[in-house]
């Protein structure tokens, strides 16, 4: 299910320094910019087809822009009373500025709107920066998935499964 909403150039006072950014549903026209970020920030990025399929499936997909510049995005799948964070990314030059934390706040709000009581995600153990951001946001490890992610030289990397209770 996708939340239907208009772009939010001024989402709320709680957005602080991010209030000038535009938070809006992801549309097909966003995919070139989304795919470009994906190629830079992940060693094993999603394919363009993954994004097309996610939008076609009706997953909640959102972007954050500063004018025309795409800062980041996320895709969230609602399943019963849980939401699964499929992908969240911040443009490489804008990392370390709090945008990831801001997007995680939006993930929680979106998940609540879907009727979820928690948000699940998988993350590579090697992605220490993301693990730190998730932990600071309140996500806790609840398990591991062996051989989940592709890695270099045909090897596989496990995933850490994390949950955030809403």
Query: What is the rounded CA–CA span in Å between residue 143 and residue 62?
Result: 27
The residues annotated as belonging to the active site are 122, 134
Query: What is the rounded CA–CA span in Å between residue 35 and residue 40?
Result: 9
Query: What is the rounded CA–CA span in Å between residue 166 and residue 159?
Result: 22
The residue among 126, 118, 47, 130 whose CA lies nearest residue 88 is 130
- Distance of CA 155 to CAs 41, 74, 75, 151, Å? 20, 27, 26, 5
Q: Residue 46 corresponds to which tokens in the numbers above?
A: 């999603």
């Amino acid at each position: 299910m996708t939340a239907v909403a208009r772009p939010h150039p001024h989402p709320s006072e709680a957005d602080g320094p991010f209030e000038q950014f535009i938070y809006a549903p992801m549309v097909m026209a966003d995919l070139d910019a989304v795919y470009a970020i994906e190629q830079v920030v992940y060693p094993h990025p999603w394919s363009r087809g993954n994004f097309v399929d996610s939008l076609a499936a009706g997953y909640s997909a959102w972007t954050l822009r500063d004018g025309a510049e795409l800062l980041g995005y996320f895709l969230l799948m609602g399943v019963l009373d849980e939401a699964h964070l499929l992908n969240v990314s911040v443009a490489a030059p804008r990392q370390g500025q709090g945008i990831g934390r801001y997007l995680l706040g939006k993930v929680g709000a979106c998940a609540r709107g879907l009727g979820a009581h928690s948000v699940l995600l998988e993350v590579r153990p090697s992605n220490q920066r993301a693990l730190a951001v998730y932990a600071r946001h309140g996500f806790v490890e609840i398990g591991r998935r062996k051989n989940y992610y592709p890695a270099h030289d045909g090897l596989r990397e496990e995933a850490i499964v994390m949950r955030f209770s809403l």
